[in-house]
Amino acid sequence: MDAATQPVISSARQSFFGRGELPADQLPQPILRSWLRCAELGLDVESSPRIEPLSGASLREACERHERLRRLSRPELDALHSEAQATGGVVILTNGEGLLLDVVGDSGFAGRAAGVALRPGVVWSEASTGTNAIGAALAERRPVAVHGGEHYFEPHGMLSCAAAPILDPRGAVAGILDLSGHASVAHTHALGLVRMAVDQIEHRFFDEGFEDCDVLRTHTDPALLGAAREGILVFRDDRLVAANRRGLEMVAAGWDSLDRTAFGDLFLERLSRLDALAQLRAPDGRLLHARLCRAGRAGGQGAYHSPLGAAPSTPETAADIPSLRTVEAAVIEAALKAAGGNISLAARRLGVHRSTLYRHRAGKV
């Protein structure tokens, strides 16, 4: 946490914990909401959190139970590992209740973090450890960053954490991905990196398990079909049964649409008449490019989709290459760094074509 922020947080803590006032203008709203939830749970800020780590046998059992999540997340844990080491932090994967399953990164910081129970086998929900990025992301169902004194319990003030929920194809929180480090070190792009990594993990959920469904992949930009930024809508017998966040956003629907919404409720076209490549109109009138894999094809994905989430190989034109003007250049560089300078890998994690990153490196984007 920077020096300019510390007095503001100290003042906010005095207002909230000392005088019972709401420091609404001194804290991000997700942090204030978390403090309020923790207070309602009866957590005593004057005491230390009650930590009850799982036994070794119970932790192994939990890891085995969540092996698919760990397998789908492993490429992102590996990619963020180098970022965590470079900034003296750790990458954390939890299950849907905030139980830490995997912690990788800087061994020195991991040792210090273990002193505040940031280690496998410990639950980091708000009810267990107060305001923290993992617990707040669970409660808010959205990415959250918690810096230093924004944590509920003072011992956790040593931490700077950024976390995002991993949603499964039915909208349930399957786990949390977190990047944590020491509060004295600037972690400017941690939340952006975590969000991009979660996009990749959620994208992999659709690589298997939908062989009996029609899987529709959509985007306004045809160059991004097959990348983690595409929308995915899964239909069984013309009924929407699974999706990713981007897919629901593209058709202005929510998770409550699953099992209740027919293809015809979303598009004018009929699903039975769609070709493998198609153009559809979204509810707001936007033109969506789509690739459809019919039920019965292996993995519900078809030959056009790489299991690594890479964009399909097509001839490039200037119009095909998405611009990165809306993406922070520093986040791009951080993604390249996390990928060890591998532009192809970084492009997959950003959800863009690798040519775009070559142009960025050349100063043309």
Res 47: pLDDT: 87
41 inside domain: yes
Residue 74 confidence class, pLDDT cut points 50, 70, 90: very high
* The total number of structural domains that make up the chain: 3
Residue 334 pLDDT greater than 70, yes or no: no
Res 285: pLDDT: 87
Res 345: pLDDT: 67
Res 339: pLDDT: 62
Same domain, 90 and 43: yes
DSSP H/E element including 105: strand 100-105
Taking the C-alpha atoms of residue 97 and residue 125, their distance in angstroms, rounded to an integer, is 7
Residues 54-71 have a mean pLDDT of 97
305 inside domain: no
Residue 238 confidence class, pLDDT cut points 50, 70, 90: very high
Residue 3 confidence class, pLDDT cut points 50, 70, 90: low
Taking the C-alpha atoms of residue 173 and residue 164, their distance in angstroms, rounded to an integer, is 10
* Boundaries of domain holding 15: 6-198
Q: Higher pLDDT residue, 184 or 359? A: 184
Share of the chain above pLDDT 70, in %: 80
In tens, the pLDDT along 91-128 reads: 999 999 999 999 998 878 877 777 888 899 999 999 99
Same domain, 43 and 185: yes
96 inside domain: yes
C-alpha dihedral (169, 172, 175, 180), degrees to nearest 10: 100
- β-pair partners for 243: 233
DSSP H/E element including 144: strand 144-147
Res 347: pLDDT: 65
**Residue 17 DSSP symbol:** I
Same domain, 173 and 191: yes
The CA-to-CA distance between both ends of the chain, in Å, stands at 31
Whether the Cβ atoms of residue 199 and residue 228 lie closer than 8 Å to each other: yes
Same domain, 251 and 320: no
Same domain, 159 and 179: yes
Res 284: pLDDT: 84
Strand extents, DSSP E, 214-283: 214-219, 231-236, 239-243, 277-281
Res 80: pLDDT: 92
Residue 322 pLDDT greater than 50, yes or no: no
Residues 292-301 have a mean pLDDT of 70
Residue 304 confidence class, pLDDT cut points 50, 70, 90: very low
Same domain, 161 and 241: no
309 inside domain: no
365 inside domain: yes
Same domain, 184 and 79: yes
Residues 334-354 have a mean pLDDT of 61
Q: What is the chain's mean pLDDT, rounded?
A: 85
Residues 132-141 have a mean pLDDT of 98
Residues 148-160 have a mean pLDDT of 94
Domain final residue, candidates 258, 276, 300: 300
CB atoms within 10 A of CB 323: 12
Res 310: pLDDT: 34
Same domain, 67 and 120: yes
Residue with token string 């020195």:
108
Residue 351 pLDDT greater than 70, yes or no: no
Cβ neighbours of residue 232 closer than 8 Å, sequence gap 6 or more: 169, 203, 206, 215, 216, 217, 218, 242, 243, 244, 246, 247
Domain final residue, candidates 274, 300, 326: 300
Residues 69-86 have a mean pLDDT of 91
Res 283: pLDDT: 83
Res 10: pLDDT: 93
